[in-house]
Amino acid sequence: MKAATKLLLLTLACGALTLRGAEAAAKSADGEKKEFERVEFSLLGAFNYVPPGYETASTPDGKAAADAKPKDQIPDFVRKLDAKKVAITGFMLPTKFKDGKVTEFLLMKDQSSCCFGVMPRINEWVTVKMASGGIPPLMDTPITLVGKLKVGEVFEEGYLSAIYQLDGERLLEAKS
């Protein structure tokens, strides 16, 4: 068996196991459905996503060009999380403040994405908009947020800006 085929099979198996674990974690010990599903960046980033070239990313009206076809790059095991209530743990990179609280931010897989680190892959961050009032700025500690996850390409001014968005409902925990 070729090395590429082995790698593909291993990647698919890992993705299936990760998803199965996420589904199991969504149920409590007595089998009742939980309020939300815990989702890890190991699942969200478990595939390679190649953003479309900026020259073909959109048409003048801001819609994705027909030849860009980025949608088939997000696997079904991730797409099935669309519109689900989830809890995700990561690191905050604030983008908007109001009255001393963070109302919009990136939730990133790790801190190496900030400042002088390595640029994260597009499936290693989630764009978050808090529903009410915002939360305190907690940049140097992992935080867990609960909210409704949207999975799909987001284009701003013709450029791909995200593939994950979270309508943040509340801060579940902050680890110090």
Residue 26 lies in a domain: no
pLDDT band, residue 5 (cuts 50/70/90): very low
Residue 65 lies in a domain: yes
Residue 19 lies in a domain: no
**Strand bridging mode 37-39 / 85-98:** parallel
Q: Degrees (nearest 5) of the Cα angle 53, 124, 69?
A: 30
Residue 21 lies in a domain: no
Residue 85 lies in a domain: yes
Q: What is the CATH number of the domain that holds 77?
A: 2.40.50.870
The count of structural domains within the chain is 1
Domain that holds residue 122: 35-174
Which pair of tokens denotes residue 140? 């140097």
Residue 166 lies in a domain: yes
Nearest to 88 by CA among 119, 126, 114, 118: 126
Residue 8 lies in a domain: no
Other CB atoms closer than 10 Å to residue 86's CB: what's the count? 19
Cα 158 to Cα 51, 61, 171: the distances in Å are 12, 8, 32
Q: What is the rounded distance in angstroms from the CA atom of residue 139 to the CA atom of residue 46?
A: 25
| pLDDT tens digit sequence for 90-147 | 999 999 999 999 999 999 999 886 667 788 999 999 999 999 889 999 988 999 999 9
| pLDDT tens digit sequence for 46-62 | 999 988 765 444 556 65
Residue 107: what pLDDT? Answer: 97
Residue 12 lies in a domain: no
Cα 5 to Cα 11, 98, 138: the distances in Å are 10, 50, 42
